[in-house]
Amino acid sequence: MHRREGPAATCLASVLKKPRPASLCAFTPQARLRHAFYNYVTSYSLKGSFENLEAIRNAGVKCPLLCKEFVIDAWQIYYARIKGADAILLIAAVLPDLDIRYMVKICKMLGLAALVEVHGEREMDRVLCIEGIELIGINNRNLVTFEVDISNTKKLLEGERGQLIRQKDIIVVGESGLFTPDHVAYVQEAGVKAVLVGESIVKQSDPGKGIAALFGKDISV
C-alpha cells in the first residue's frame, strides 16, 4: 500500500499505460486506501483498450480498477463494469449536466464509483449543483492551451465552493502537474484528499522509486 502517514494522508492514484504498468494506491468514496490500478482505455491515442482492463482483472488483480475513457454514452459504463472496472471517469467538459446526473445514477446502480472531472470554475459550479456527486477531480491542464497550472486547484477550492464541497463531504482529487513533494503538499493544503498522477510515475523504470520521489520519502508499507 502507498500512502502518506498521519491524519492528513493523501491517497495516490496513477496511470497504467502500455507498455509500462505502475502499481499504486487508489481512493474509494469512503477515502479508504487500498492497492489499485488506474487504467487508460482510450485506444486511439493512449494505446489502451477495455481488453487491457479485462486482462488486468483476469490476471487475478483484486484491487479496485479506475477506468478512464471519454464517456459519452451509458453503454460505456456498463461495458467498463463488465470488463472489471470499479470506478469510471466522467468528464464535465464533454457531458451536459443531465447526462452527468443520469450516469452517476447508473454508476451507483452498478456499484461503480464515479469520478467527475472539472477544469475550471464554470464546470465546478455545474457539478456542485448535481446531487449524488461523491468524487470530483480537478484537472490542472487547460484543455485549450494544454498549459498546466496547479494553482487552478487552489482557486477552485477557495471560498464558497470549498465550503460547499466540505458540506457535501465530497472527496477532491488533484490531477495533472504533480511531480514533487511540494506540488503534492500544495494541493493537499488546498483541500485535496487524493492525487492522480501519470507522467511522474510511469516514466520511471521503477514505479516505487517514482512514488517515493513524488512524496519525498518511501511510503510503501
CB 34 within 8 A of CB 63: yes
The terminus-to-terminus CA distance of the chain in angstroms comes to 6
Residue 220 pLDDT grade (very low, low, confident, very high; cuts 50, 70, 90): low
Residue pLDDT, tens place only, 133-164: 999 999 999 888 889 999 999 999 999 999 99
Domain range for 45 is: 11-215
- pLDDT of 163: 96
Residue 110 has pLDDT above 70, yes or no: yes
Domain assignment present for 159: yes
Model pTM?
0.79
Task: For strands 24-26 and 65-68, give the pairing.
Answer: unpaired
**Between 2 and 78, whose confidence is greater?**
78
Does 10 score more than 80 pLDDT? no
Q: How far apart are CA 21 and CA 210, in angstroms?
A: 13
Residue 28 lies in a domain: yes
5 part of a folded domain: no
Q: Mind listing the pLDDT tens digit for each residue in 70-101?
A: 899 999 999 999 988 899 999 999 999 999 99
Instruction: Specify if 189 maps to a domain.
Output: yes
Q: In whole angstroms, what is the distance from residue 19 CA to residue 175 CA? A: 22
Give the CATH number, domain containing residue 180.
Answer: 3.20.20.70
Question: Residue 199 pLDDT more than 90?
Answer: no
Q: Is residue 52 in some structural domain?
A: yes
The least confident of 50-54, 108-112, 122-126 is 50-54
Q: Which range, of 2-11, 25-34, 110-119, 131-140, averages the lowest pLDDT? A: 25-34
CB 51 within 8 A of CB 59: no
3-state secondary structure the chain: CEECCCCCCCEEEEEEECCECCCEEECCCCCCCEEEEEEECCHHHHCCCHHHHHHHHHCCCCCCEEEECCCCCHHHHHHHHHCCCCEEEEEHHHCCHHHHHHHHHHHHHHCCEEEEEECCHHHHHHHHCCCCCCEEEEECECCCCCCECCHHHHHHCCHHHHHHHHHCCCEEEEECCCCCHHHHHHHHHHCCCEEEECHHHHCCCCHHHHHHHHHCCCCEC
Strands 24-26 and 11-16: unpaired
Q: What's the confidence (pLDDT) of residue 54?
A: 82
The predicted pLDDT at position 40 comes to: 42
Burial class (CB in 10 A: 0-12, 13-18, 19+), 19: exposed
Residue 1 lies in a domain: no
Whether 2 is covered by a domain: the verdict is: no
Q: Structurally, how many domains does the chain consist of?
A: 1
pLDDT for 179: 87
pLDDT band (50, 70, 90) for residue 12: low
The verdict on residue 119 lying in a domain is: yes
What would the mean pLDDT of 166-185 be, rounded to a whole number? 92
- Tens digits of residue pLDDT in 19-73: 433 333 333 333 332 334 444 444 333 455 777 778 878 888 777 888 888 899 9
Q: How confident is the model at residue 203, as a pLDDT?
A: 73
